[in-house]
Amino acid sequence: METAGSPASVRSSATRDALVVGADPDLVTFLSGVLEPEDWAIRQAPNNAAAMDAASRAHFDLIITGAQTSGQEDVELLRKIRRARPHTRLIILTDKSAPMDVVASMREHAFSYFSWPCSLDDLAAMIRHAAEEPCWDDGIEVLSATPAWIRTLVRCELKTADRLLRFLDEIADLPDEERHDVAQAFREMLLNAIEHGGQFDPTKCVEIEYVRANRAVTCRIADPGPGFKLNEVSHAALINPSDNPVKHMALREELGMRPGGFGILMTQHLVDEMVYNETGNEVLLIKYLVSPKPSLA
């Protein structure tokens, strides 16, 4: 393991550099198991100040902060690093999620944000995504944001959608059951918008609006496509006859579409209201909450 001050000549076959911030040996071991050792040299900085010093002197393809620091401290580190290294990919790992810090991290173009406890599988998948994605930091544009009302533009790519969903999952202060339902419904409709409305075209964007009211959560998704009518979507399970609930799957295979088609039907059961605009290229999801939003007082 190299420290941040080790000379680059120490590494032999590795072609890319990752920096782990903090003194957690388990995080270093975890990262070593996720990244290909022949392609990556993993270096370590004991704290954010040392990480800033290292990043000012050398380029790192990926930086992961330590859980010992707050999200606010890590956002400030990201802000400073990106002044010198504008395209730095930094994943914030912290011991506590604070919605304002998550919003700030989105504005500063963090690659992702995780608070403990989190799924190690999800973290590993995001690290691999950061390691593989050739172009990323123009994928999510924050138009306006508070923890209760966020409006963004998201590039029509599946991996970019996964990044946005990760940020929103950190922001959502919902009971576990509602959190799962809202996340699943939002994901299904977002993927539909990117696939059918945006045609997976990275030059196009989907507009997302998330609002957390006192007793409800709403998600508005507007795609760049021409829209559709629900009763004409032959590749979706929604209009399958009752005696053949998987009829659409054969059509999807014939058209070369990804497996699925259950998104709209599933979403209708996960949220309380699902409202489309006149043309069908904009949908509003509404989930009513049993308990009111916790008071900040």
Q: What is the pLDDT of residues 38-56, one digit of tens each?
A: 899 999 999 999 999 999 9
Measured from the Cβ of residue 284, the count of other Cβ atoms closer than 10 Å reads: 18
pLDDT digits (tens, 9 = 90+) for 114-143: 998 889 999 999 999 999 887 677 799 999
- How many beta carbons lie within 10 A of that of residue 221, not counting itself? 22
What pLDDT sits at residue 213?
A: 93
Give the pLDDT confidence score for residue 225 in this predicted structure. Answer: 94
**Is pLDDT at 182 greater than 70 in this prediction?**
yes
Max CA pair span of the chain: 68
Burial of 176 from C-beta contacts in 10 A (0-12 / 13-18 / 19+): exposed
Which class for 131: exposed (0-12), middle (13-18), buried (19 or more C-beta within 10 A)?
middle
Nearest-angstrom CA–CA distance, 225 and 206: 9
Give Cα 230 to chain centroid, integer Å.
28
**Do you find a cis peptide bond into 117, omega within 30 degrees of 0?**
yes
For residue 86, the 8-state DSSP code is: T
Per-residue model confidence (pLDDT) at position 106 = 94
Mean pLDDT of 98-105: 93
Residue 255 in this model has a pLDDT that exceeds 70: no
Cα(23)–Cα(1) distance, integer angstroms: 12
**Full strand arrangement of the beta sheet holding 90-94:** 2-3, 40-45, 16-21, 62-64, 90-94, 112-115
The answer to whether the beta carbons of residues 42 and 16 sit under 8 Å apart is: no
> Which domains are present in the chain?
1-137 (3.40.50.2300), 138-297 (3.30.565.10)
User: Does position 149 have pLDDT exceeding 80, yes or no?
Assistant: yes
Residue 195 in tokens: 């696939």
Phi, psi of 22 (to 5 degrees): 110, 175
Q: Round the CA-based radius of gyration of the chain to a whole number and report it.
A: 21
Half-sphere exposure of 151 (CA within 13 A, CB side): 3
